[in-house]
Structure 1
Amino acid sequence: MTSTFDTEKDKASAWFRTLRDDIVAAFETLESDHSEGPLSDASPGRFEVSETQRTSDDGSDAGGGLMSVMRGGRVFEKVGVNISTVFGTLGERAQMAMAARKGIPGMKDDPRFWASGISLVAHMQNPHAPAVHMNTRMFWTPHAWWFGGGSDLNPCIEYDEDTAHFHATQKEHLDPHGPAHYPKLKAWADEYFYVPHRNRARGVGGIFMDDLCTGDWAADFSLTQDIGRAFLPAYVPLVRKRRVQAWSEADKDAQLVHRGLYAEYNLVYDRGTKFGLETGHDANAVLMSLPPLAKWV
């Protein structure tokens, strides 16, 4: 590993931008071609794009990204697709957390870091269409590098065939990297996206990984790319199928209650939320995952 890893950083950052562009285009197409069913007579939603900036403690530039948010569309009630590439030095609190969780020596002596990734959360108009989360990322310090991320499905009204399709598509994209990956990452997602204080899972699972560093950067990056490539074919067919279904007031109520569970998890347990706020990234971008409306009983 070189001291700067600049070529690898550039490749990763460019890939996250490409994936973002593909997803934004696909989601706007879902809005445009929604021609029957609830809200089909409304105006199609479009993403509002704004730049995000991270500033270091001394006021110097520390990177940033793009925040793309669609609100009040035909299909999506709120969806955000964010990318960022940030760098600088980790504060003492973040250094301690990183050293403790990842066992990285030398963080106090050289706390530089670089991180790039994509993060997506979609909350749907139709309660029959599942909410979804996806992110992939690369993190670098002078002492180590690793990849992380995955995607998971969060329906408030569960359909076994939708869950089966979502998981089968992910398995199809992971199997070329070795048959052990999918069951391992599925089990990891089941553990990670669990809400202890509710004694239940956040959704119906998916795949998740963290701290991926086999020593072969190209192989780890390729796996990370295929996690991203699996997202649209795993998710878009479910939206096309469910967006036309009629819903009741009880269905909408169930959706709002489930969103409350989603918000609890993201604010209490999610590592990405904690890291983003601890390192001074744009708070609106970090909290983009929160639903527009939620309910607690």
Structure 2
Amino acid sequence: MTDDVAVRKGEAATWFRTLRDRIVAAFEELERRAAPVGTPPATFEVTPTTRADDGGGGIMSVLRGGLVFEKVGVNWSEVHGTLGERAQKAMAARGVPGIEGDPRFWASGISLVAHMVNPHTPAVHMNTRMFWTPGAWWFGGGADLNPCIEYPEDTAHFHAEMKRACDAHDPAYYARFKAWADEYFFVPHRGRARGVGGIFYDDLNTGDWQADFAFTRSVGEAFLPAFLPVTERRLGTPASEADRETQLIHRGLYAEYNLVYDRGTRFGLETGHDANAVLMSLPPVAKWT
């Protein structure tokens, strides 16, 4: 990258925070519309977060006990410091240049996980991020839908929006990143996917920072059009006790994946970020059979 590294870091961090603000506002609007007249709607509790050794921090925004969202977190962070040995080795194994010789890093991004009240409304995950080391920079992220009761039209809509975001930049991206999501969001010890997929990409560096950042912005901007119509469509669907049981068991699968396999969870904990923010993705209630 050129001498304007600091400018590009600032541009990326600011955009991720702006996306966080837009999504929080949209989710609070859903809660406002769902609340009976005269009842205060559920809102986000916002908490600053810090990384160990004064390595930056972020904002943890969590809404609990809503009429639409049982728990949803929308976190933004901008952190920096020195990678531990395990993180260095993991990145070296992925081909990150120079990481073993200079362990400094900087990262910023947004991370979102929503667990819904109505079992017919799918849970969802989305994140986009930029990562920098002295030897490299790259973007990563994606979004995936996690219904406990699948509706094919919801799955089709979500994937169509992800494909639209990809196609605007490279017609090969959607097939490539959908396949990556299918592989990445697979739970090996259960022999199944955690949801119905979406897209996932990491280590994206085509050599054109502006193009890669533009694609990452498109992924983030596609999230609300992909998720809100699905949510609004299912809010009034009647749910039985059996539906709730199905939802809680599926949440157990989601928790297993995030604690055992998720790359972001491991990175956050290993680099000393606020544990509550890192584990924000866990559901409020889950069951195992």
TM-score range, shorter chain: over 0.9
Q: Aligned-pair distance for 1:108?
A: 3.5
Match of 2:146 among 121, 131, 154: 154
Q: Is it true that 1:62 corresponds to 2:55 in the alignment?
A: yes
The TM-score normalised by the length of structure 2 is 0.97
Once the two structures are aligned, what percentage of the paired residues are identical?
70
CA spacing shift, 1:143–1:4, aligned 2, 3 Å: farther
Question: What's the counterpart of residue 127 of structure 1?
Answer: 119
Question: What's the counterpart of residue 29 of structure 1?
Answer: 29
Question: What's the counterpart of residue 187 of structure 1?
Answer: 179
**SS state of the match for residue 119, structure 2?**
coil
Q: State whether residues 35 and 41 of structure 2, in contact with CA within 8 Å, keep that contact through their aligned partners in structure 1.
A: no
Q: Aligned-pair distance for 1:94?
A: 1.6
- Which sits farther off after the overlay, 234-243 or 41-50? 41-50
Superposition misfits of 4+ residues, deviation over 3 angstroms: 40-43
CA offsets 1:244-271 (integer angstroms, 9 cap, x no match)? 1111000000000000000000001000
Q: Is it true that 1:76 corresponds to 2:69 in the alignment?
A: yes
Question: What's the counterpart of residue 207 of structure 2?
Answer: 215
Q: Is it true that 1:272 corresponds to 2:264 in the alignment?
A: yes
Give the distance between the partners of 1:93 and 1:172, measured in 2 at CA. 37
Question: What's the counterpart of residue 129 of structure 2?
Answer: 137
Q: State whether residues 3 and 142 of structure 1, in contact with CA within 8 Å, keep that contact through their aligned partners in structure 2.
A: no
Question: What's the counterpart of residue 255 of structure 1?
Answer: 247
Give the distance between the partners of 2:229 and 2:156, measured in 1 at CA. 12
Question: What's the counterpart of residue 114 of structure 1?
Answer: 106
Question: What's the counterpart of residue 95 of structure 2?
Answer: 102
Question: What's the counterpart of residue 6 of structure 1?
Answer: 6
CA offsets 1:65-86 (integer angstroms, 9 cap, x no match)? 0000000001000000000000
Q: Aligned-pair distance for 1:173?
A: 1.8
**SS state of the match for residue 177, structure 1?**
coil
The one-letter code matched in structure 2 to 1:33 is R
CA spacing shift, 1:66–1:261, aligned 2, 3 Å: same
**SS state of the match for residue 179, structure 1?**
coil
Please, which runs of 5 or more residues in structure 2 have no aligned partner?
none
Give the distance between the partners of 1:3 and 1:95, measured in 2 at CA. 25
Q: Aligned-pair distance for 1:217?
A: 0.2
CA spacing shift, 1:290–1:42, aligned 2, 3 Å: farther
**SS state of the match for residue 230, structure 1?**
helix
